[in-house]
Structure 1
Amino acid sequence: MGPTIHDVARMANTSKSTVSRYLNGQKVKKATQEALEKAIRELNFHRNANARRLVMDKTNTIGVVVDNISNIFYSGIIRGIEQVANRKGYSCIFYSWTSNFEREISFLNLLYEGQLDGMILVSFQKREKDDLQELLDSDCPVALVGDHGEMDGLFSVDVDNSAGVADIVRYLHGLGHRRIAYITGPDHAAANKYRLKGYRQTMAELGLEAKPEWVARSDWSNQGGYLAMKRLLETGGFTAVVASNDETAIGALRAVQEHGILVPKQLSLVGFDDITLSEWVYPSLTTVRQPFLEIGELAAEGLFRRIEAKETETPEPASHLLKPRLIVRDSCGAV
C-alpha cells in the first residue's frame, strides 16, 4: 500500500486536515507548504483519485463524445474544449460512438453512474427527437455541438449554416451573377437542411429564380461533387455554382475543367468549410470558414456553467449560432 495523507502529515509535522486543505488548493503557511512539498516528494505520494471523488462528490472529468473521431473538423472543436477544461482544472475523456457501435444517447449512462461531471456531445448528424427529449428530461450537465432539433431547453452551439450560404449568394450577386446553381449534401447531415434553406431564401430575397433543375444532390464527397456537376452541365444556363461543402466543390471543379470550361472566367464556383485543400486547388477556392475553436470554447464554457449550477440555480438554456466567414480566393469572377 502506498503512502497516505497520514504519512505526509507525520513527516511534515502537521495535521491531516492541513494536508487535505493544501491538496485541495487552499492556502497554508509558507513554512508548512515547504514541509508538505518536501514530504510529498520524498514519500512519492499521489492522491487517491477515487477517495477524493467520494469525498468531493465530483470527478473533475468531463466526457467528449464524437460521432467519428477521424473527422478532421473536430480537431479545432476539441482543442477549444480542452483549453477551457484545462483552465477549470478538468480532464477530458474522449469517446467515438460510431466506432464502438453505440448510440450517442447511451453515453448518458456515464453521467448517471457518476463517472463524469458533465458531457459534450459533438455531431454534425441529425439527432433523433426521442434522444433529444431524453437529454432534456435527464437534467444532466450536457452541452451539444451541432443539431439540437430546434428544441427549447437544450444548450447547444452550432454554425449558422444558412447565413453562411446566404453570404455566398449575396457575394455572387454582387459580382453580377443572376443564374446560380446549387449542389446539396446528404440528408443525414443536419447542416444540409440549413445550407439549402440559405440558398433558396436568399435567391428569393434577391428576386432570383432557383430553378429545380439547377439543384443537384451529392453525398459531400469529391466523387459526389464530380457527378453532381456533370448532371448540372447537361442542363446548363447558369453562371455560378454554390457547392455545399469544399470536397463537393473540388469534385465539381474537376468536372468543369474536363468539360473545357474555365473557372472563374466562364463559371464561378464556391465551397463551404475552408478545408486545407481548398487553398491548394487551381484556381484556389472561394469558400466559407467555420469558427471551430470558438465552437469548442463556447460549448465547454456552457457545460461548466451547468456543472457549477448543479447545487444552485440552473442557468437559462440557450442555443448559440456562430457566424461563419466568407473567404474570397480565385474561383469567382464578375459577369
Structure 2
Amino acid sequence: MGSTIHDVARLANTSKSTVSRYLNGQKVKKATQDALEKAIEELNFHRNANARKLVMNKTNTIGVVVDNISNIFYSGIISGIERVAKKKGYNCIFYSWTSNYENEISFLNLLYEGQVDGIILVSFLKREAKDLIKIRDTEYPIALIGDHGELEGLFSVDVDNAAGTSDIVAYLHRKGHRSIAYIAGPENAGANKYRLKGYKQAMEALKLDYHPEWVVESNWSNQGGYQAMKKLLQQQGFTAVIASNDETAIGALRAIQEHGLNVPGQMSIVGFDDITISEWVYPSLTTVRQPFEAIGIHAAEGLFGKIDGYEEMNQSSHLLKPQLVIRDSCDNLNHHSQ
C-alpha cells in the first residue's frame, strides 16, 4: 500500500485538512509548506487521482482525438494545444482513429463517461453533417479543428483555405499571369472545397477567364501531382499552375521539367502548406504556410473557456489566415518565353 494523506499529516505534524488544502493549490504557511514537501518526498506520496476526481468532479485531463497520428501537420497543432493545457495545469491524452472513418464521433463517450473534462477533435477530413449536428447538440466542452460543414453554433478553428489560394492568384496576377491552371485535391479532404473556391473567387474578382479544363484533380500525393500535371500539359495556354498542396506541387514540378519546360522561366508553380521539403526542391517552392501552432492554441483556449463555463463566447468558427511564402518557383510573365 502507498502512503496516505494521514501519513503525510502525521509526519509533517499538521492536520489532514491542511494537507488537503495544500494539495489543492491553496496557500499554507511557509514553514508548513516546507514540512509538507519534505514529508511528501520522504513518504514518496502520490495523490490518488481517482479519489480527487470524485471530490473535485474533474479529471484535469483533456482528450485530443486525431484521425491519423502519422499526419505531419498535427505536430504543430498538438504543441499549441499542449502549451495552453500546461499553463492551465491539465494533462492531454491523445487518441488516434486511423482504422475507421466512422469513429471520430464515438470518442464523445470519453466525455459522457467522465474520463476527460473536454475534447478537441482534430481532422482534415470532411465531416458528416449528422456527426456535426450531434457534436453541436451536446452540452459537453468540445472544440473542433478542421471541417465544421459551415454549421452554425459549433466552436471550430481552421485555416482560411480560401484566403490562401486567393492570395496565390493575386500574387501571380501581380507578376503578370492571366492564364492560371489549378490542381485540386481529393473530395474527402475538408480543405479541398475551400481552396478551389478561393481560386475561383480570385479569378472572378480579377476578371480572369476560368477554364474548367484547366482544373484537374489529384489525391494530394507526389504521384498524383505528377499525373495531374501530365494531363494539364496536353493543353496549351496557361503560364502558371497552382497546386492545392505541396506534395502535389512537387510531383507537378517534376512533370513540367520532364516535359522540357523551365521553371520558373517558362512555367510558374505554387504549392500550399509549406512542408519542409518545399524549400529543398529545385527551384524552391513558393507556397502558403499554415499557422498550425496558432490553430492548436486557439482551439485549446476556446475549449478551456467552455470548461470554465464561458459557453456563450465560444460557439463560432474561427479561420486563421495563412501566409504566402515567396521562393523561386514563380517568375514575372514578361520573362516567360512561351
TM-score (norm 1): 0.98
CA shift in 2, pair 1:93/1:250, >3 Å: same
Q: Which residue of 2 aligns with 1:317?
A: 315
Aligned-residue offset at 1:137: 1.2
Structure 1 residue 151 corresponds to structure 2 residue 121: no
After the TM superposition, which residues 1-335 of structure 1 pair with which residues of structure 2 at under 5 Å, given as runs? 1-99=1-99, 103-309=103-309, 314-335=312-333
Unaligned 5+ segments in structure 1 are none
Q: Which residue of 1 aligns with 2:336?
A: none
Could you list the runs of 4 or more consecutive aligned residues of structure 1 that deviate by over 6 angstroms after TM superposition? none
One-letter code of the match for 2:205?
Answer: E
Count of residues in Structure 1 that have an aligned counterpart in Structure 2: 333
One-letter code of the match for 2:232?
Answer: L
Aligned-residue offset at 1:130: 0.5
* SS of structure 2 residue aligned to 1:315: helix
For the residues of structure 2 that align with 1:112 and 1:290, how far apart are their CA atoms? 33
One-letter code of the match for 2:191?
Answer: A
Q: C-alpha offsets along residues 265-323 of structure 1, whole Å, 9 cap, x if unaligned?
A: 000000000000100000000000000000000000000000010xx764341211000
Q: Percent identity?
A: 75
Aligned-residue offset at 1:99: 3.7
For the residues of structure 2 that align with 1:223 and 1:160, how far apart are their CA atoms? 26
For the residues of structure 2 that align with 1:308 and 1:94, how far apart are their CA atoms? 21
* SS of structure 1 residue aligned to 2:84: helix
Aligned-residue offset at 1:100: 6.6
Aligned-residue offset at 1:13: 1.2
* SS of structure 1 residue aligned to 2:64: strand
* SS of structure 1 residue aligned to 2:284: coil
CA shift in 2, pair 1:21/1:110, >3 Å: same
CA shift in 2, pair 1:255/1:77, >3 Å: same
Counterpart contact for 2:120–2:145, Cα < 8 Å: yes
CA shift in 2, pair 1:286/1:142, >3 Å: same
CA shift in 2, pair 1:314/1:6, >3 Å: farther
For the residues of structure 1 that align with 2:296 and 2:238, how far apart are their CA atoms? 38
For the residues of structure 1 that align with 2:245 and 2:54, how far apart are their CA atoms? 48
One-letter code of the match for 1:12?
Answer: A
For the residues of structure 2 that align with 1:101 and 1:129, how far apart are their CA atoms? 14
Give the superposed CA RMSD.
1.0
For the residues of structure 2 that align with 1:38 and 1:183, how far apart are their CA atoms? 64
TM-score (norm 2): 0.97
For the residues of structure 2 that align with 1:314 and 1:265, how far apart are their CA atoms? 53
Q: C-alpha offsets along residues 212-234 of structure 1, whole Å, 9 cap, x if unaligned?
A: 11111100000000000001000
One-letter code of the match for 1:217?
Answer: E
* SS of structure 1 residue aligned to 2:237: coil
Counterpart contact for 2:239–2:268, Cα < 8 Å: yes
